A and B are shown apart, each in its own frame.
Chain A
Amino acid sequence: MTGFPILSVMLAIPALAAVACLFVSAQGARWIALIATLIDFVLGIGLWASFDIGGPQWQFVENAGSLGVFSWKLGLDGFALLLVMLSVFLMPICIGASWVAIEKRVQEYMAAFLITEVLMIGTFAAQDLFLFYIFFEAGLIPMYLIIGIWGGANRIYASYKFFLYTLLGSLLMLVAMLWMVNFAGTSDIPTLLNTDFPVQVQTWLWLAFFASFAVKMPMWPFHTWLPDAHVQAPTAGSVILAGVLLKLGGYGFLRFSLPMFPEASAQLTWLILALSAVAVIYTSLVALVQSDMKKLIAYSSVAHMAIVTIGLFAFNRQGIEGAMIVMLSHGLVSAALFLCVGVIYDRLHTREISRYGGLAINMPRYALLFLFFTMASIGLPGTSGFVGEFLSLAGTYRVSTTATLLCTTGIILGAAYMLYLYRRVVFGEIVHDDVRAMKDISLREMALLAPIAAVALWMGVYPESFLAPMRSDVATLEARIARATPKGDSLPTPGKAPATPAAHAEARP
């Protein structure tokens, strides 16, 4: 890469736009936010296009020197690149989704979103431990304000819960970080990634990081903030929460826990597998009985995130790549599902499932898109959901058949709650007159949903585009954790008869 500080520019544009938003009219703020996020998206495409697959691990590195103990050092590897892409892709969609739904304090709202974007890109790009911490934790603040100011009736409780959960975890992480910097003598992440911490200390460090990431993920039983936060958040808030903020936990496990504490990770794999298996079954069953659409999708998110954690702690390529694809896929699909809820919420101002029904009659285009995202959510092959789930579970199978069996029940339960939701909202007769009066999706709403559908389909049919950038990073990670990889419980013995030579002659036309 040339010396052009593209990452800093991507951070600066939304930051400047956020300031600008505060000094213009409501309509002006909307346009500024949209243009700024679109510029970032274009820059993101530039990143992706110029990312050298198979090149150095860290690319677009820029180091602006030290600020006290920590330094302004940015850079991306394949994992971070993909998550930055997800963020910049979803951001303009969020702005579009808030175009008419937000009427009060538009300037501040747009500014909060732009700051969120800065902090998210910063989190993924940070190469200094403290810089990461600041971005990671500060990401809460705008989200907290978005829920607290523009949220629903019970927004104070929700934002409070969100705040308490996430802050408590992160304080432990800070302590651990301080110890690590002290031990290694640097806060440079690439250096720390190759530092071998003493095995007995690793467990404590791992647990401290776990406290933060498990809440962010969220893993069972630290998940109860999520349904409330989603329910109270405005549509775009839910989109960004499900789309990107939930990925911070997974990214944390991938970036820190696994490569920095491989022995501790192996030691505590049982904990991750157990919590994930419980999460899949528990939250799926809870999702089944929800009467609020957003709560249902929020609970389903917890189940999907459990597939991410088991994949990561499978200690093999399929698991890790699968976990990444689940994160990207869930980022797209659950975001789209929240947008779908938003579309009908904007018309009827209720999230009660029973207030709808029969939407296929007067909103056929909406029914089709909603169906697509429902199917992507339950992992139908050909959509992004399948590729991720399949790889992640295939990887996990090498570690634990039991955990895999339990987590794979998610495909049954997932189908049950999503189809039950779809049936109650979209199928059946129209019972309520106000539902009959609802119009099919507008051009603006189509423009928000169609791109997500296209990418989800792309990722499902040709995931190579998304697997290629992270391939060498997975190899690096695999090499790093190889020494701790657990043995698994399958251990097939060799067969008794010798394998027969090729019986089927193949002819390729």
Chain B
Amino acid sequence: MILFIVFLPLLAAIVAGFANKSFGAILPKVVTTGALFASCALSWPIFIHYLGGGEATVTPVLDWIHSGDLAVDWSLRVDALTAVMLVVVTSVSALVHLYSWGYMEEDPDQPRFFAYLSLFTFAMLMLVTADNLVQMFFGWEGVGLASYLLIGFWFRKPSANAAAIKAFVVNRVGDLGFMLGIFGTYLVFNTVSIPEILRLAPGMAGSTIGFFGGRFDTMTVLCLLLFVGAMGKSAQLGLHTWLPDAMEGPTPVSALIHAATMVTAGVFMVCRLSPMFETSPFALTVVMTVGAATCLFAATVGLVQTDIKRVIAYSTCSQLGYMFFAAGCGAYGAAMFHLFTHAFFKALLFLGAGSVIHSMHHEQDMRYYGGLRKSIPITFWGMMMGTLAITGVGIPAVFGNPLAIGFAGFHSKDAIIEAAWASGQHGASIVGIIVALLTSFYSWRLMFLTFWGKPRWEQSEHIQHAIHDAHGHGHDAVHAGHDDHGTTAAHAHHGEAAEEGQGSEPHAHDHGHVVQAHPVFTTHGDGTGGYHPHESPFPILLPLIILSIGAIAAGFVFHGYFIEPSAGEEYWHGAIAFREHLMHAMHEVPLGVKLSASIAMLTGLLGAYIFYIRSPHAPRKLAETYAPVYDFLLNKWYFDELYNLLFVKPAFAIGRFFWHRGDEQTIDRLGPNGSAWVVSQGSRVAGKLQTGYVYTYAFVMLLGLTGAVTWAITR
């Protein structure tokens, strides 16, 4: 059965890829979507089976690399941890396939798109079913490839290509750590089989190993090397720069790969190897610190972004930080639980944002939204559920209330904050609470800017195009515009207009040239420019509705299995290092901690309400008053600029230096050119034979060879 789950998407990707446009777009769409729904339908029974507790099974597929005592096989491992990932991956993937029927409707390259999506799903499933580190690396790189292809799906667009390369290369930095981690693990344990490693790991506690000239604690070195890989894939601080740029890909891709599944692979890896991380307290501290730092960093940047997808991207980055610091505190169950709930509500938010973008003719700047809740009500309610889930709305089990109940994120996020407190990491816990406040603020800011207030889109170039085309040249330009998204110029412009959009005030001074170009469409006065958004088609709405159910209920229904002491122990069944006492201690944290997340959530909501509903001019004033802080956040802490300066430019400069100064002016001058000069002086005589250089040298060479051989024979 697991064979079908994993290989159906591969088969579908191959069929869709090779059929391409030969049979129209329908065949690839039906094949890939059908395969994914079949995989999904087969996955849920497995998950439900493991809810009752079950042993791990390993299905061998094929020998892979056998070299001495290094034995790596293709095989599929299923246990409780894999089961979680199976349902997450196949469910979200199936829904995203369906969603893409609507979203990618006008794209001429749909077969390619669906083939990539299915290929991605296959690679992700190989990753989560890996029984050894090398197969995990196969999946790891496979999802990287799919991500590269999908980010660069609109390959005519320079920004998409740049983002795709960036994603791949930054991930490779992480992979360097992962590979070295595998080498080190193999050296220490003589195996790459995950269960074997986890069995042997506790025995190596306290051992030391040489690495890069120094001597360190063995398990710390191995865990940190592997964690570098996780940082790359899960976009943790330092290696996060690719994730926001990855939003160049089509929105369904962002939802599937860059929110729900691929980026969580790092968290999955740390949980999978949790018994190994348990042997190195230092490594765990690093995991926790990096997670907390990312969590805070991304949330602050998310506060000021104006592109709807980028806000959600930073939010993802921040939520991944939560998962890592949960793992770093030893609450692996809570980390996996947040991964599970996050997959649903973040996919929902992204797909909802996609639906907004679809209705707004590919306008992604929230400054040009406003008042959309009446025109696209289903999308609005979907996004609302997602927001309630991510901000963690719910009733905590305090003041005698026996049963905590709330949206998905409420259960998982509270668990993380409480677990952090219970494990003695009070600092991390406080960071978690602060970030909960920031999360609430940026999430509600997104909702208020998009769905409340008055319409502000008459200044949007995309909307202008839409109106223009509708009135003028039919739909040709819309199609062309869809393919390359026509956003290059618009984005550059938005980037320059570095200020907060708010209220209903038109930004005529920002977009003077636009107004001049289309004076006709600016006269409506209601901010709509005469454009009225329509709700998205059914294939887009159905996934939103299904995911809404997940965002509402996933936390309440499953929290027992993931984090409750006894049920959790029974469910995980050794698949992760489950610290039962920590899960007990979680319930004993002070009242203040239990309430803190909810208080933070309400504070954030209130703040967003004041800033974006009550007094819409306040954000700009605040931004002007604290301009340096605002710019710092808007420019994402200047990470891109710094890396450009430190790595990208020097790499090219050094490359040029090596090439000209090294190869041409040193090696060649002292080597062949020098001797060539000597030889050419001497061979003028040969030149007189008029046989041409080539023959001369060939002849000389033959003579030399013959001479040498003769000498050897007659010596």
Residue B527 at the A interface, CB < 8 A?
no
A426 to chain B, nearest CB (A): 8
Given A224-B671, A492-B218: A419 and B204 within 8 A (CB)? no
In the complex, the answer to whether A428 meets B156 with C-beta atoms within 8 Å is yes
B163 to chain A, nearest CB (A): 11
CA distance A68 to B709 in the complex (A): 11
Flag A196-230 by CB within 8 Å of B: 1 or 0 each.
00000000000000000000000001101101000
**Which chain A residues border B184 with CB–CB below 8 Å?**
397, 401, 490
In the complex, the answer to whether B67 meets A321 with C-beta atoms within 8 Å is yes
- Show 12 A/B contacts (Cβ-Cβ < 8 Å), sorted by A: A144-B697, A165-B672, A174-B712, A224-B664, A285-B651, A381-B138, A382-B141, A412-B175, A461-B62, A464-B63, A492-B209, A508-B57
Residue A349 at the B interface, CB < 8 A?
no
**Which chain B residues border A188 with CB–CB below 8 Å?**
none
Flag A155-196 by CB within 8 Å of B: 1 or 0 each.
010011101110110010010011001000000000000000
In the complex, the answer to whether B137 meets A381 with C-beta atoms within 8 Å is yes
**Which chain B residues border A415 with CB–CB below 8 Å?**
168-169, 172
Task: In the A-B complex, list the 4 residue pairs whose CB atoms are closest, starting with the nearest.
Answer: A499-B203, A496-B206, A148-B694, A285-B655
CA distance A358 to B658 in the complex (A): 30
**Which chain A residues border B141 with CB–CB below 8 Å?**
380-382, 386
Residue A141 at the B interface, CB < 8 A?
yes
Residue A137 at the B interface, CB < 8 A?
yes
Flag A384-408 by CB within 8 Å of B: 1 or 0 each.
0011001101100110011011001
In the complex, the answer to whether A401 meets B179 with C-beta atoms within 8 Å is no
**Which chain A residues border B68 with CB–CB below 8 Å?**
316-318, 321
In the complex, the answer to whether B142 meets A381 with C-beta atoms within 8 Å is yes
Residue B452 at the A interface, CB < 8 A?
no
Residue A63 at the B interface, CB < 8 A?
no
A415 to chain B, nearest CB (A): 5
Residue B4 at the A interface, CB < 8 A?
no
CA distance A134 to B707 in the complex (A): 12
Give the residues from 318 to 342 in chain A that come closer than 8 angstroms, CB to CB, to chain B.
318, 321-322
Residue B202 at the A interface, CB < 8 A?
yes
Give the residues from 475 to 509 in chain A that come closer than 8 angstroms, CB to CB, to chain B.
489-509
Flag B176-215 by CB within 8 Å of A: 1 or 0 each.
1001101110111000000100111011111111111100
Extra contacts, 4 of them, besides A134-B709, A402-B212, A415-B172 (Cβ < 8 A), are A156-B693, A164-B672, A361-B156, A490-B187
Contact of B183 among A140, A397, A497 (CB under 8 A): A397
Given A286-B658, A408-B179: A427 and B152 within 8 A (CB)? yes
Given A144-B697, A381-B138, A420-B165: A412 and B204 within 8 A (CB)? no
Contact of A285 among B658, B694, B705 (CB under 8 A): B658
In the complex, the answer to whether A393 meets B56 with C-beta atoms within 8 Å is no
In the complex, the answer to whether A500 meets B676 with C-beta atoms within 8 Å is no
In the complex, the answer to whether A375 meets B698 with C-beta atoms within 8 Å is no
Interface residues of A (CB under 8 A from B): 68-70, 130, 133-134, 137-138, 140-141, 144-145, 148-149, 156, 159-161, 163-165, 167-168, 171, 174, 177-178, 181, 221-222, 224-225, 227, 282, 285-290, 316-318, 321-322, 358, 360-361, 364, 375, 380-382, 386-387, 390-391, 393-394, 397-398, 401-402, 404-405, 408-409, 411-413, 415-416, 419-420, 423, 426-429, 461-464, 467, 489-509
Interface residues of B (CB under 8 A from A): 20, 55-60, 62-68, 70, 74, 134, 137-138, 141-142, 145, 148, 152, 155-156, 158, 161, 164-165, 168-169, 172-173, 175-176, 179-180, 182-184, 186-188, 195, 198-200, 202-213, 218, 275, 574, 651-652, 654-656, 658-659, 662-664, 667-668, 671-672, 675-676, 679, 693-694, 697-698, 701-702, 704-705, 708-709, 712-715
A409 to chain B, nearest CB (A): 6
Contact of A289 among B165, B206, B656 (CB under 8 A): B656
**Which chain B residues border A419 with CB–CB below 8 Å?**
148, 164-165, 168-169
In the complex, the answer to whether B651 meets A416 with C-beta atoms within 8 Å is yes
In the complex, residue of chain A having the shortest beta-carbon distance to the beta carbon of B712: A130
In the complex, the answer to whether A463 meets B57 with C-beta atoms within 8 Å is no
**Which chain A residues border B137 with CB–CB below 8 Å?**
381
**Which chain B residues border A496 with CB–CB below 8 Å?**
205-207
Contact of A178 among B58, B62, B712 (CB under 8 A): B712
CA distance A464 to B713 in the complex (A): 43
**Which chain B residues border A507 with CB–CB below 8 Å?**
55-58
Interface centre among A225, A397, A492, A498, by most chain B C-beta atoms within 10 angstroms, is: A492
**Which chain A residues border B70 with CB–CB below 8 Å?**
318, 391, 394
**Which chain A residues border B664 with CB–CB below 8 Å?**
224
Contact of A492 among B138, B161, B208, B702 (CB under 8 A): B208
CA distance A285 to B65 in the complex (A): 31
**Which chain A residues border B715 with CB–CB below 8 Å?**
69, 178
In the complex, the answer to whether B210 meets A393 with C-beta atoms within 8 Å is no
In the complex, the answer to whether B656 meets A318 with C-beta atoms within 8 Å is no
Interface centre among A164, A178, A409, by most chain B C-beta atoms within 10 angstroms, is: A164
A226 to chain B, nearest CB (A): 10
Given A401-B210, A427-B155: A390 and B176 within 8 A (CB)? no
In the complex, the answer to whether B210 meets A140 with C-beta atoms within 8 Å is no
In the complex, the answer to whether A358 meets B156 with C-beta atoms within 8 Å is yes
Given A225-B672, A317-B68, A416-B165: A499 and B202 within 8 A (CB)? yes
Given A145-B694, A391-B65: A286 and B210 within 8 A (CB)? no
Contact of A391 among B63, B67, B158, B704 (CB under 8 A): B67
CA distance A167 to B67 in the complex (A): 37
CA distance A225 to B702 in the complex (A): 20
A223 to chain B, nearest CB (A): 8
In the complex, residue of chain A having the shortest beta-carbon distance to the beta carbon of B156: A429
**Which chain B residues border A133 with CB–CB below 8 Å?**
709
**Which chain A residues border B60 with CB–CB below 8 Å?**
508
**Which chain B residues border A508 with CB–CB below 8 Å?**
57-60
In the complex, the answer to whether A160 meets B697 with C-beta atoms within 8 Å is yes
B535 to chain A, nearest CB (A): 34
Given A130-B712, A144-B697, A490-B211: A289 and B187 within 8 A (CB)? no
CA distance A497 to B218 in the complex (A): 13
In the complex, the answer to whether A68 meets B713 with C-beta atoms within 8 Å is yes
CA distance A357 to B212 in the complex (A): 42
In the complex, the answer to whether A221 meets B205 with C-beta atoms within 8 Å is no
Contact of B67 among A318, A426, A502, A505 (CB under 8 A): A318
**Which chain B residues border A318 with CB–CB below 8 Å?**
67-68, 70
In the complex, the answer to whether B180 meets A428 with C-beta atoms within 8 Å is no
Interface centre among A69, A285, A409, A413, by most chain B C-beta atoms within 10 angstroms, is: A285
Given A144-B698, A178-B712, A317-B67: A375 and B200 within 8 A (CB)? no
In the complex, the answer to whether B206 meets A495 with C-beta atoms within 8 Å is yes
In the complex, the answer to whether B145 meets A503 with C-beta atoms within 8 Å is no
CA distance A68 to B714 in the complex (A): 8
CA distance A165 to B674 in the complex (A): 12
In the complex, the answer to whether B218 meets A411 with C-beta atoms within 8 Å is no
A499 to chain B, nearest CB (A): 3
Contact of A411 among B175, B204, B206, B713 (CB under 8 A): B175
In the complex, residue of chain B having the shortest beta-carbon distance to the beta carbon of A156: B693
CA distance A489 to B202 in the complex (A): 23
In the complex, the answer to whether B218 meets A161 with C-beta atoms within 8 Å is no
In the complex, the answer to whether B169 meets A163 with C-beta atoms within 8 Å is no
In the complex, residue of chain B having the shortest beta-carbon distance to the beta carbon of A322: B67
In the complex, the answer to whether A411 meets B63 with C-beta atoms within 8 Å is no
CA distance A148 to B697 in the complex (A): 10
**Which chain A residues border B156 with CB–CB below 8 Å?**
358, 361, 427-429
In the complex, the answer to whether A506 meets B176 with C-beta atoms within 8 Å is no
In the complex, the answer to whether A286 meets B65 with C-beta atoms within 8 Å is no
Given A224-B672, A322-B67: A405 and B701 within 8 A (CB)? no
In the complex, the answer to whether B652 meets A288 with C-beta atoms within 8 Å is yes
**Which chain B residues border A364 with CB–CB below 8 Å?**
20
A502 to chain B, nearest CB (A): 6
B485 to chain A, nearest CB (A): 13
**Which chain A residues border B663 with CB–CB below 8 Å?**
224, 227, 286
A425 to chain B, nearest CB (A): 12
